[in-house]
A and B are shown apart, each in its own frame.
Chain A
Amino acid sequence: MGDTIEKVSIIISKGSLEGIYPGLIMANGARAEGIEANLFFTFFGLDAIHSKRLEHIKVAAVGNPGMHMASLIGVLPGMSAIATHMMEKKMEAFDIPGIPEFMELIGDTGAGIYACKASVDLFGFTKDDFIPQVEDIITVGEFYEQAAGGEIIFT
C-alpha cells in the first residue's frame, strides 16, 4: 500500500447517536477527499438506515461516562431525549446535519451503503424497512469482497 488511502469500508455496529455519528463523519469525510467509501450497518447500527427509526436515534444517557452525569439521573424518563435534543442543537450550529439528512448526503456522495444480512435476518427486517440509499443486504463474505484493497474501520 502507498502513502495515501484510496478506499475505506466503515462498519457501524451501534445504534446510539454517539455510536453512529463517527462512522458517518468518517465516510462523508472520505468522499470529500476523493476516497472511495463503503458503509456497512450491522446489529443495532441498522437503526441508522431503518426508515422509521433513524429519526429517533438517541444519546445513551445511562452507562455513558462521557455524559458527565450520574447514571441514576440518566434513568429518569426523558433524560435521553433531553440530552439528544441538546446535542442536536449544538451539532447543527457546527454544520453537522441530523441523521436522516446525513444519510441522504452520504448517499449523494456516491458512498456504498449496505446492511448486514445476519443482523437483518435476526431482527426480521426486509429491504423495504430501510431508506432508499441502502444499495443491498449483503453477507459478511460479500462485505469483504466490497472492502478488498482498502482499509476497514469498525465502529
Chain B
Amino acid sequence: MTVDTIAGTQVDVNEEGFLTDPSQWTQDIAVELARRERIDPLTDRHWVVIRFMRSEYEAKGTGPTVRVLGKTSGVPVKELYQLFPKGPAKLAAKIAGIPKPRGCI
C-alpha cells in the first residue's frame, strides 16, 4: 500500500491504484482518476455509473459486475463500454474509489 496525492488530497492506494479506503474518496478525486484513465470530461452518464458503484459497494461490500451494472444501473452494457472502454466495472470502480470487483462475468 502506498500514499498517492490525488487532486491535492493524500489517499491510500494499492499497487493497481485503487483506493484502499473508500471513505477518503471525493468527487474531485474521481475527476482526477478519470483523467488519468483518459476519460475526460466525466459526463452525467459517467456519474450515474460512479454513484451506482458506490451505493452498491456500501450496500453489499463489493462492486457489481458488468452484467449486474447493465441490468440495474440504468446504463445498458453497450453504453457502459462506450463510457469506460477499458473495462466498465473495473474502471468505474477505480474512479468511484472502491475495490476492484472480483467477479468473472
Which residues of A are found within 8 Å of B81, using beta-carbon distances? 31, 108-110
Would B77 and A32 count as touching, CB distance under 8 A? no
Which residues of A are found within 8 Å of B85, using beta-carbon distances? 34
Would B68 and A95 count as touching, CB distance under 8 A? yes
Which residues of B are found within 8 Å of A105, using beta-carbon distances? 66-67, 70, 77
Would A109 and B105 count as touching, CB distance under 8 A? no
Of the candidates A32, A33, A105, the one having the most CB atoms from chain B within 10 angstroms of its own CB is A32
Which residues of B are found within 8 Å of A108, using beta-carbon distances? 70, 76-78, 81
Would A34 and B77 count as touching, CB distance under 8 A? no
**Would you call A29 an interface residue if the criterion is a C-beta within 8 Å of the partner chain's C-beta atoms?**
yes
**Would you call B90 an interface residue if the criterion is a C-beta within 8 Å of the partner chain's C-beta atoms?**
yes
Would A97 and B105 count as touching, CB distance under 8 A? yes
Tally of contact residues, A, Cβ under 8 A: 14
Would A32 and B88 count as touching, CB distance under 8 A? yes
Which residues of A are found within 8 Å of B66, using beta-carbon distances? 28, 32, 105, 109
Would B105 and A95 count as touching, CB distance under 8 A? yes
**Would you call B98 an interface residue if the criterion is a C-beta within 8 Å of the partner chain's C-beta atoms?**
no
**Would you call A96 an interface residue if the criterion is a C-beta within 8 Å of the partner chain's C-beta atoms?**
yes
**Would you call B89 an interface residue if the criterion is a C-beta within 8 Å of the partner chain's C-beta atoms?**
yes
**Would you call B74 an interface residue if the criterion is a C-beta within 8 Å of the partner chain's C-beta atoms?**
no
Instruction: Kindly state the separation between the CA atoms of A37 and B88 in the bound complex, as whole angstroms.
Output: 15
**Would you call A140 an interface residue if the criterion is a C-beta within 8 Å of the partner chain's C-beta atoms?**
no
Which residues of A are found within 8 Å of B88, using beta-carbon distances? 32
Q: Which of B66-105 contact A (CB under 8 A)?
A: 66-68, 70, 76-78, 81, 85-91, 103-105
Which 4 A/B pairs are nearest by Cβ-Cβ distance? A34-B86, A108-B77, A34-B87, A108-B78
Could you show 30 A-B contacts with beta carbons less than 8 Å apart? A25-B104, A28-B66, A28-B105, A29-B104, A29-B105, A31-B81, A31-B87, A32-B65, A32-B87, A32-B88, A32-B89, A33-B87, A33-B90, A34-B86, A34-B90, A34-B91, A95-B65, A95-B67, A95-B68, A95-B103, A95-B105, A96-B105, A97-B105, A105-B66, A105-B70, A108-B70, A108-B76, A108-B78, A109-B77, A109-B81
